[in-house]
Amino acid sequence: MTRSRVLVTGGAGYIGSETVRLLLEEGHEVVVFDDLSTGHRKAVPEAASFIRGRISDTPLMIEALAGVDAVFHFAANIEVAESVTDPKPFWWNNFVGTLTLLDAMVKAEVFQLVFSSTAAVYGNPPSDLVTEKMPLQPVNPYGESKLSAETLIADYCTAYGLCATSLRYFNAAGAAVGGKHGADHAHKTHLVTLCLEAAARRLPCLTIFGTDYPTPDGTCVRDYIHVADLARAHLAALSAFERGVQGSFNLGNGKGHSVREVVECVQKVTGVDFPVKEVARRPGDPAYLVASSGKALDLLGWKPCFPSLEQIVHDAWEWVRTHPKGYGSDI
Ligand code: UFG
């Protein structure tokens, strides 16, 4: 692959920083652009340049884009439930923020973009295995804001010569292989993270939201994908631009795990039999969401290297076990 200079928005965050490390390993130059509202300066390797700023700060962004070949755009608000109660920052950051970034890119003549999208653009898909051809019907403002950003990007591709790929992540999980880096969110909502908190005895129990879904064991099924595999997909998307490949791609393992299976897996990997409480459904959860990633395989040449849930949980546990205070711990 050609050596590129890549600007990474949200490069101090969970998936962004994992991608920054991989870009550097592969010999690319990296500029991280992050306002540190949720990211961590310590997650950014020394070898990357770092600019603290908001993506809506157009003069700063245009300056940062000097000499840049491609942008990886991770910076976003991501919590589904919060998007329902307080949609404003989701529209400002995920939609307007993307618009201002695109304008800055066009002004700075940077024409390659890899965008972090989400399975939430599908809402409640009509089939178990989700392909990119399925209807795009988000059921929450988070998914709406990401889908609107995808539409905006497609229009900029048609009109202004941008090349762009949107990567629709299913359930991102795990940590850097070996556990040196990982997720450090002030507000923890994701299943694997909360199971590990329970295993570390920092939560009294894990709460299962709903046991009456039309799934084999009554709990929701999701496709958990290793953060290192998500990072690799971004580099695959970048090199695919050289072959004229762009578009929207699902990223998952194509294998579903129920909430109960995740709980059992975390208990097995950690050796901690933490207590579990069953409560009513959480509003807005689809019963079954599993990716067909055939398009990414065919066109990007991307295939997950760490598809096993055990490996995903193992790496996340290494991070949680050795960094009880996240990036606030000594690393
Ligand atoms: N769950 C529990 N207990 C918990 C936390 C979660 O039972 O304490 C359940 C949820 O109800 C759901 C499943 O575990 O059935 C997974 O929930 P997560 O919160 O880990 O993830 P989601 O599937 O809700 O959402 C994630 C991302 C979204 C993205 C979506 C796409 O947070 O940004 O995956 O699949 F859009």
What is the mean pLDDT, run by run of 10 residues, along the chain of 331 residues?
Answer: 93 98 98 97 97 97 98 95 92 98 98 97 89 95 97 98 97 92 91 97 97 96 97 98 98 97 98 98 87 97 97 97 85 46
Instruction: Confirm or reject: Cβ of 70 under 6 Å from ligand 1.
Output: no
Q: Which residues pair with 169 in a beta bridge?
A: 118, 251
Instruction: Confirm or reject: Cβ of 171 under 6 Å from ligand 1.
Output: yes
Closest protein CA for atom 36 of ligand 1: 120
The ligand 1 atom nearest the CA atom of 173: 20
Instruction: Confirm or reject: Cβ of 190 under 6 Å from ligand 1.
Output: yes
Domains of the chain, with CATH numbers? 5-173+225-252 (3.40.50.720)
pLDDT at 72: 98
Closest protein CA for atom 5 of ligand 1: 191
pLDDT at 178: 84
Predicted TM-score (pTM) of this structure: 0.97
pLDDT at 329: 66
Q: Which residues pair with 226 in a beta bridge?
A: 173
Neighbours of 162 (CB within 10 A): 20
Instruction: Confirm or reject: Cβ of 194 under 6 Å from ligand 1.
Output: yes
Q: Which of 60, 28, 59, 61 is closest to 45 using CA atoms?
A: 28
Please identify every residue annotated as catalytic: 142
Q: Which residues pair with 8 in a beta bridge?
A: 32, 72
CA of 66 to the centre of ligand 1 (A): 38
In Å, how far are 95, 101, 110, 296 from 65, measured between CA atoms?
20, 10, 7, 28
Contact present, 196 and 270 (Cβ < 8 Å):
yes
Distance from C-alpha of 53 to C-alpha of 57, rounded to nearest angstrom? 7
Q: Which residues pair with 208 in a beta bridge?
A: 278
Q: Which of 165, 113, 160, 107 is closest to 8 using CA atoms?
A: 113
- Please state the separation of Cα 264 from the chain's center in Å: 24
Closest protein CA for atom 24 of ligand 1: 285
pLDDT at 187: 86
Alpha-carbon dihedral sign for residues 185, 186, 189, 192 = positive
CA of 167 to the centre of ligand 1 (A): 18
Distance from C-alpha of 306 to C-alpha of 252, rounded to nearest angstrom? 11
CA of 157 to the centre of ligand 1 (A): 32
Instruction: Confirm or reject: Cβ of 14 under 6 Å from ligand 1.
Output: no
Residue with tokens 């099924």: 221
- Nearest 5°: the CA angle 307, 313, 315 is 90
Neighbours of 255 (CB within 10 A): 15
- Give the HSE-up count for residue 104: Cα atoms under 13 Å, Cβ half-sphere: 26
Distance from C-alpha of 296 to C-alpha of 311, rounded to nearest angstrom? 22
Helix (H, G, I), strand (E, B) or coil at 147: helix
Instruction: Confirm or reject: Cβ of 76 under 6 Å from ligand 1.
Output: no
Residue with tokens 């923020």: 97
